[in-house]
Amino acid sequence: MLRIAVQAKGRLYEETMTMLTESSIKIESSKRTLLVQAKNFPVEVLYLRDDDIPQAVASGIADVGVVGENEFVEKGEDADVIKRLDFSKCRLSLAIPKAVDYKGVEWFNGKKIATSYPEILKDFLKKNNIDAEIHVITGSVEIAPGIGLADCIFDIVSSGGTLVSNNLKEVEVVMKSEALMIGNKNLSDDKRAILNELLFRFDSYKNAEGKKYIILNIPNDKIDDVRKLLPGMKAPTVTPLAAEGWSSMHSVIEEKTFWDIISQLKALGAEGILVVPIEKMIL
């Protein structure tokens, strides 16, 4: 049995549970239960606070965990980074009042900075020879300048909307962050085998994101032109139709380029275009 630590609530929780669900791992969610076993896979989920996950994994309370890179770096626990998961992306930034005329990092000399990430901030200030006071708080860091608690803040930024609503502006990005899969350094061979299967399922789900399966009919003399538009994973599948001079072509297309490519396909004479969602993709 592999025990995986997951944030108990919030965006990271939601995206992690979606990834487990899309990997066909059935977990019954329960707000009152801290440890839940999957019904169809040798995994149990331990729900923790995000900032407790690095220590839980490093100490062996959990075998692996999904945690924000910001929390992992801040805590400095001795665990392995197994995989970058490409979701819950954000950044840790310094932000100051909008009215301030910012000229560079030297502005922070002598200032009081409110943050929930003092270790990452200390490292940044040291590297830039900045002498500033760090005021550690939890919760709503962004209100600190407005109530006179600090001159500026160092906090997580996603869309930037919270900064705008508190009359702040982002001036220095210190680090970028995303969800990480971290693991205990002493996993047994059996647990590593379960982990490898879990990661294989995650990959098949992530590979399919943003992609569509496209099927179309095309005149034979336009096949080479269409192949340039639809390269597929290796090459498109081409099958002769009963109608002479025509073939059916199957391929994979990026959703973000879908409408541009459809217009070009129609110009080449493509007909009967069918686009289907892809649930999983194994490369």
The pLDDT of residue 171: 97
Q: Are residues 82 and 95 part of one domain?
A: no
| pLDDT value at 209 more than 90 | no
Maximum mean pLDDT: which of 18-32, 174-188, 222-236: 174-188
Q: 214, 262 in Cβ contact below 8 A?
A: no
Which amino acid is present at 196? Answer: N
User: pLDDT tens for residues 38-85?
Assistant: 989 999 999 999 999 999 999 999 999 999 999 999 999 999 999 999
Q: Are residues 187 and 115 part of one domain?
A: no
Single residue among 176, 196, 227 that ends a domain in this structure: 176
Residues 6 or more apart in contact with residue 212 via CB below 8 angstroms? 252, 253, 254, 255, 258, 275, 276, 277, 278
Single residue among 127, 156, 176 that ends a domain in this structure: 176
Q: Are residues 252 and 238 part of one domain?
A: yes
For residue 148, the Cα-to-chain-centroid distance in whole angstroms is 35
Q: Is residue 282 part of a domain?
A: no
Q: What is the per-residue DSSP string for 40-52?
A: SSSEEEEEE-GGG
Single residue among 176, 198, 220 that ends a domain in this structure: 176
Instruction: Report residue 202 as tokens.
Output: 């995650």
Q: Are residues 269 and 152 part of one domain?
A: no
Q: Is residue 29 part of a domain?
A: yes
Q: Are residues 65 and 26 part of one domain?
A: yes
CATH code, domain carrying 255: 3.30.70.120
Domain count, the chain: 3
Q: Are residues 273 and 216 part of one domain?
A: yes
The pLDDT of residue 30: 64
Closest of 44, 13, 9, 38 to residue 24, by C-alpha: 38
Q: Is residue 220 part of a domain?
A: yes
Give the single-character DSSP code of 101. Answer: -
| pLDDT value at 233 more than 80 | no
The predicted model scores a pTM of 0.84
* pLDDT, averaged across the chain: 93
Rounded to the nearest 10 degrees, the angle between the axes of helix 11-22 and helix 189-208 is 90
User: pLDDT tens for residues 89-101?
Assistant: 999 999 999 999 9
User: pLDDT tens for residues 62-73?
Assistant: 999 999 999 999
Sheet with 112-115, strands from edge to edge, namely 133-136, 112-115, 152-157, 90-97, 168-177
Rounded to whole angstroms, the Cα distance separating 55 from 5 reads: 10
Q: Is residue 283 part of a domain?
A: no
Q: Are residues 258 and 242 part of one domain?
A: yes
Q: Are residues 149 and 96 part of one domain?
A: yes
Instruction: Report residue 141 as tokens.
Output: 């860091």
Nearest 10 degrees: Cα torsion 65, 69, 73, 79: 30
The pLDDT of residue 145: 94
Q: Is residue 191 part of a domain?
A: yes
Q: Are residues 246 and 221 part of one domain?
A: yes
| pLDDT value at 27 more than 90 | no
Q: 213, 250 in Cβ contact below 8 A?
A: yes
pLDDT confidence tier of residue 207, bands split at 50, 70 and 90: confident
Q: Are residues 143 and 79 part of one domain?
A: no
Domain that holds residue 75: 2-88+178-207
Instruction: Report residue 233 as tokens.
Output: 């994973």
Rounded to whole angstroms, the Cα distance separating 192 from 21 reads: 21
CATH code, domain carrying 185: 3.40.190.10
Percentage of the chain surpassing pLDDT 90? 76
Q: Are residues 185 and 73 part of one domain?
A: yes
Q: Where are the alpha helices (DSSP H) in 23-113?
A: 53-59, 69-75
Q: Are residues 95 and 170 part of one domain?
A: yes
Q: Is residue 267 part of a domain?
A: yes
